[in-house]
Amino acid sequence: MPESVQSTPSVDPALQPRLVVTDLDGSLLDHHSYDFSPAAPWLARLKQMGVPVIPVTSKTRAELIPLREALGLTATPFIAENGAVIGLPPGWCHARLDRPGSGRDGVVIKHPGVDIGFIRARLKVWRERLGIRFTRMGEMSVAEVMELTGLDAVRARDARQREGSEPLLWQDSEAALETFRTALEGDGLQLTQGGRFWHVMGRSADKGSAVEWLVKRFTALRGRAPLSLGLGDGPNDITMLEAVDQAVVIRGCHDLAVEPSNASIYRTDATGPTGWAEGVAYWWGRDDRRLATAEKGDVVIL
């Protein structure tokens, strides 16, 4: 078995433990076609280097099951529903803190936020009390979700299987949106803007908080804090990009502002998975010793 990289001052900085957290839609996945082939070479290289690549997405756990298979990320954790759901594969579980996963893949699920039933009940109350106009994803038919997202029927059904957040289409004014946001805050809920929808979730359940939790878990299990890289293209990625050491804002197919407070930030010229590869190469492509180790076929255990 290969020896682990030791935490000593003599170790080359290029060989320190690393972690990638990434948005999916519009980032690792093309916003329209959901293709990720331009990023595939870097995904393979990171896997060879032993660097976990963790999806951090507004998608549901049900949507992520086939995507994790397709992306080759079944051994890494995932963050679903913008931080409301955290999935831990066996290698990331703590013997005393985590009950064995009940799913076929053994994944342990953490819910940092609040129950979807509570969210939907409060949305009903505030829509009636404030007289505001929006449509919840749960109120849409599968056909309507397919039309809005470009998903096929199976994936559209999976997108409606919410556990801790509710996407909605806002159909009212900016002033009404701010009144709505304030009302939700009184319930311990928050409103986050994604690429297609606004998302309502618990105050403690956002991408950044979930990433911070996973970084702490990595550090506890491996005995050393990783250098973290985050990639995203939307406003709901800002907290994630502020929770990492190095951030990449991928040029989006939208006009939404993405302005994270991070001193180490790179903005790509390309969009989608091509921009994703550009961003990873910008920060980590110069680590020649690390890349040479991976390309020789030596597995670096982190």
CA–CA separation, 229 and 69 (whole Å): 22
Residue 274, amino acid: T
- Decide if 23 is catalytic: yes
Please tell me which residue in 12, 23, 237, 288 is annotated as part of the active site. Answer: 23
Beta bridge partners of 191: 200
Report residue 243: phi and psi, to 5°: -95, 0
- Lookup: tokens for 287: 């680590």
Task: Decide: 247 and 207 in contact? Cβ < 8 Å.
Answer: no
Nearest alpha-carbon partner for 295 in 228, 212, 263, 285: 285
Catalytic amino acids? 23
